[in-house]
Structure 1
Amino acid sequence: MDLLLASNNKKKAAELQRVLDRAGISGVNILLLSDVDPYDEPVEDGRTFEDNAFIKARAGMKATGLPTLADDSGLAVDELAGMPGVLSARWSGGHGDDEANNDLLLGQMAHVPDERRGCAFVSVCALVLPSGEEHIARGEWRGMLLRERRGEGGFGYDPLFLPDDAEGRSSAELSPEEKDARSHRGKALAQLVPVISQFA
């Protein structure tokens, strides 16, 4: 069975594959946007992660007729009233410039004391089926914002995120398997496993 992941992020696809493998689900062929006929990707103009996840999942299913899974995720910093939030990927202006986004966030938080550097990675995953059935799941991963980058793994804000449950290592210092077991996206995807298993 083909399942469209409304993204071209191969690391997200690999994470989804590991979640399915761990759950013993086989026969699911994960497709990225580059694997299907091009279509006009929608503007992600929602105010919440849920809004944007559904915008992407509904557009993918409508364009391809395939079950479509979409993730919208980001970093919510307590001191910034939950921002960058849905603007995480384009916090510095351009889209997906991890270095610039990290630099800007570090600058904005430079003088904030440790006790006010709490934050959470948030992931919302939407699954839209050709039948019209829709599912949504949310996962959060709490921690604090570091003052400098640590680690070479992951992507996005991983080098700045010190999870509460990672024995003093940043998200970018965890192995993929360790990250899957803790992460916001892993938690959200795991909630959708029963649904995927029904139609796999």
Structure 2
Amino acid sequence: MSLFEDQFDIIENILPYDGVTSYYGKIFSEEEANCYFDKLMSEIEWKSDEAVIFGKLIETKRKVALYGSEAFRYTYSGRTKTALPWNNTLLEIKEKIESISGEMFNSCLLNLYHNGSEGMAYHSDGEKDLKDNSAISSLSFGAERKFNFKHKTTKELVSLILENGSLLMMKEATQKFWLHRLPTTTKIIKPRISLTFRTIDQFK
């Protein structure tokens, strides 16, 4: 446990079984979160995401970017991305997340959702490029959005609201037993940026 944890109102595990997912709440003030949001909007090399679905290449409205400590290659949804080198803003954020959580990360997949019409369907982050059972952090800036978990076997549901400047940490067997999604909604008209810090296993 990190010494920084006492500073936050942490929910140690929002899942009832088969995994550990901690919600740290807001780890940045509203002013800090808004400042980082503006920096990420202008500094990140955003590109429309691509996925191969039923053999067809689909381009999403959602934009993405991959950064890391090396030019890692990361494959998901049938497409491979190569990590760009960290910039100073991402390194600042990464340092704080690692200090708070005690986890270490070598890459970050960023997502830009322009409004509530853009989301992600149920999935688990079990790509072969990732280190087995490694932690994945999800840091949110911008619009507050609902986030859902669904157990792969029991179908039990768990939901929470991801706040501006908040940190969610998925650990241990979470990806093995649980799916997660960002549901779409017509009520959200503002953008949200998520930073999902990961550990890519370069030796696989």
What TM-score bracket applies, with the shorter chain setting the length?
Answer: under 0.3
Bigger fraction of residues in helix: 1
Bigger fraction of residues in strand: 2
TM-score normalised per structure 1:
0.27
Select the structure of larger CA radius of gyration. 1
TM-score normalised per structure 2:
0.27
The higher-RCO structure (CA 8 Å, 6+ apart) is 2
